[in-house]
Each structure stands twice: as C-alpha cells, then as structure tokens.
Amino acid sequence: MQKRKLGKSNLEVSALGLGCMGMSFSYGPPKDKKEMISLLHAAVERGITFFDTAEVYGPYVNEELVGEALFPFRGKVVIATKFGWKIDPKAERGLAGLDSRPEHIKEVAEASLKRLRVDVIDLYYQHRVDPEVPIEDVAGAVKDLIQQGKVKHFGMSEAAAKTIRRAHAVQPVTAVQSEYSLWYRNPEKEVLPTLEELGIGFVPYSPLGKGFLTGKINENTSFDSTDFRNQLPRFNRENRKANQALVDLLGKIAQRKKATPAQIALAWLLAQKPWIVPIPGTTKLNRLEENVGAVSIELTPDDRREIESAASKVTVQGARYPEHIEQMSNR
C-alpha cells in the first residue's frame, strides 16, 4: 500500500483509509461486531493504516468497536475521530444539535480517548462548524489538547474556505474532511485551492457516492428502513434513474482498464492531488479488497481528460442532503 502525507504535516497514512461509520450506523442495522473486528484486522493486513470514526456513530459504539479492533496495532495505525455534537440517545440518530463549546470539546475528548483505548487522538475533527461558537475558540480548545498531549492533529469537516483560514491561524489544520467524488464536486470551487495554499490535507468521505458509484445500486434498489439513504433527495427513484449516466460512464472506462466502476471512481480521486486520501467505507471483505485495488490503477492524462469531458455532460440530479442537514455544511 502506498503512503501519503496529509498536507505539510508529518501525518503519513495509507493512500486509502477506511471509513468505519457504516459498521454501526446509518446504512441499515449495525453489523455483527465479531465480523467487523475481523474486517478491521483484514484492512490492517492489507496495508490500511488510516481509520475514521466519530463519537456520534452509534452513538459511541463505533468508537468502541474501532478501539477494541485496533488495540493490538496501537502506534502502527492512525485513528481519526470527531467532536461537535450534543448527543441524546432519545433524539433522531442520537443527534440533538451542535456543541463546540471549548469545555464540551475537552470533556468529550476524554471520553473518546477511553473508548478508542488510546493515550492520544491522532486526528481530531470538528464534525460540523458550530455557528454559536467562534472558530478561533474551537481551534484554541484543540490547541490546548495538543499541548496537553491528548491530541496530535486538528481537523475540520465540511467547513468553508474562510472558516478554515481563521481556524488555521490559531492552530494549524492538518486535514479537512468533506464529501467529494465524481458526483459531488463542490470542494473544487474554494476548499481545495485553499487547502493547497495552506498545505492542508484533504480526506474525501463518501468517495463512492454512498455506494451509488459502485454500479451496484439502480432505480429498483430498495434500502432497509433504517438506512439513511431513504431520506436523501439524490437517492429517490427518479434521481437514481437520471444519475445512472455517471455510473455508465465509469463502467465504460472500467471495462477498458480491467477494473470496476468503484476502482475508477477512487483512482480518479487519488489522481487529483497527492495530498488527497479517500476513506471509502465498507462492511464486506470483497469490497475492501476491491477498494484497495484502486490504489494501483494508473489513470493517464488522457483517461482523466476523458472522464472530465464525459462527466461534464452529466448533470447530477437531486440534492445530496435534506436542506436542514445541507445548511450545516460549508460554513
């Protein structure tokens, strides 16, 4: 597995990470714990050293799973987790609004350390920007945690370019995590140029469009009642039908490269910048191996031009999130 550095920081990780959310949260019922522990071990065996979780996934159980599974590899893997929510198990999906007050950040960091079974959090992201708390105060709180040896690196998620600049001036930001793929390219406008200028790494989540770009989902696919894709406008039946054109395009290139659509989608992201590290999630070993295979696929400049040109003719239909969730992004 190739390695990459997240921006100017000395945080070196595998070129592809593993998003762990779906093991416990969002994509249907939680998966079997033993099976997920063996999948996490399989990821380490295949060279993945970068794992992504959050206190709110579950809530809490995903951090516990990752902490237990990766305990034998302490010091050899990088675990990223996130803060910034008020968690109430009675609320929908456990989320009861945002909370990035400095005292709250310091309190939840202690709890995450215990659940992850580590002495220091490798990368600590603010999960969403809290409009009630100045970003300078948030960065200052993480700076304190870094000085106390409880956190190594500060990250932000779904933040706007100007907010990233303000935070970075207080405590250098190592990585920004936001959705980015061939079917959601918003970060290209302002975020990616800002990260390049400041020397910050980028971690695309949902690099396979929440499964859509794999080619395994079509207009007739039905999801479990607990799967949050049921609530996403982009996943309603008409939009899935309209968006199939993008998957067909990946399929054509994949055939020529003797690869899968998912591998081409990941190879495209990896080819964008050397400081981009996608974190596709999966709960299946064959998908994990397929994703890892994307790292060795070379897209030539011609391949990339062809993808760009064909993708520019496809207008993706449907908002990626309901409005109240979308409002929490890019601020």
Q: What is the pLDDT of residue 125?
A: 98
Confidence category of residue 110, pLDDT binned at 50, 70, 90 = very high
- Pick from 147, 151, 12: which is nearest to 82 by CA? 151
Share of the chain above pLDDT 70, in %: 100
Exposed, middle or buried, 129 (CB in 10 Å: 0-12/13-18/19+)?
A: buried
Q: Average pLDDT in the 43-50 region?
A: 98
34-67 burial string, b = 16+ CB within 10 Å, else e? eebbebbeebbebebbbbbbbbbbbbbbbbbbbb
Per DSSP, what are the bridge partners of residue 177?
Answer: 157, 203
- Pair type for strands 95-98 and 85-87: antiparallel
Which domains, and CATH codes, for the chain? 3-210+272-298 (3.20.20.100)
Average pLDDT over residues 138-157: 98
pLDDT of residue 123: 98
Range 307-330 average pLDDT: 91
Region 251-272: what's the mean pLDDT? 96
Per-residue pLDDT, 329: 93
Check pLDDT > 80 for residue 89: no
**Residue 12 confidence class, pLDDT cut points 50, 70, 90:** very high
| Residue 318: other Cβ atoms inside 10 A | 15
- What pLDDT sits at residue 94? 73
Residue 88, pLDDT score: 87
Cα–Cα distances in Å, from 129 out to 9, 180, 303, 310? Answer: 22, 18, 37, 34
pLDDT band at 310 (very low <50, low <70, confident <90, very high): confident
- Both tokens of 251, joined, read 């399929």
Confidence band for 185, pLDDT divided at 50, 70 and 90: very high
pLDDT at 91 over 80: no
> Which of the following is catalytic: 57, 124, 125, 205?
57
DSSP 88: -
**Segment 106-130 mean pLDDT:** 98
- Tokens 């959310």 correspond to 21
Residue 321 among the catalytic residues? no
* Residue 13 and residue 50 in contact, taking contact as beta carbons nearer than 8 Å: yes
Average pLDDT value for the chain? 96
Question: How far is CA 288 from each of CA 44, 48, 70, 188, rounded to the nearest angstrom?
Answer: 11, 10, 17, 27
- Please determine, for residue 90, whether its predicted confidence score (pLDDT) is greater than 90: no
pLDDT score of 256: 93
Would the pLDDT of 93 be above 80?
Answer: no
**Exposure b/e, 3-26, CB count within 10 A at least 16 = b:** ebbbbebebebbbbbbbbbbbbbb
pLDDT over 90 (residue 287)? yes
Q: Identify the pLDDT of residue 326.
A: 92
Distance of alpha carbon 2 from alpha carbon 295, whole angstroms: 7
Q: Is 255 helix (H, G, I), strand (E, B) or coil?
A: helix
Strands 78-83 and 121-126 turn out to be: parallel
Query: Which residue, 254, 27, 275, is CA-closest to 174?
Result: 275
Whole-structure pTM value: 0.97
Structure tokens at 242: 């309209």
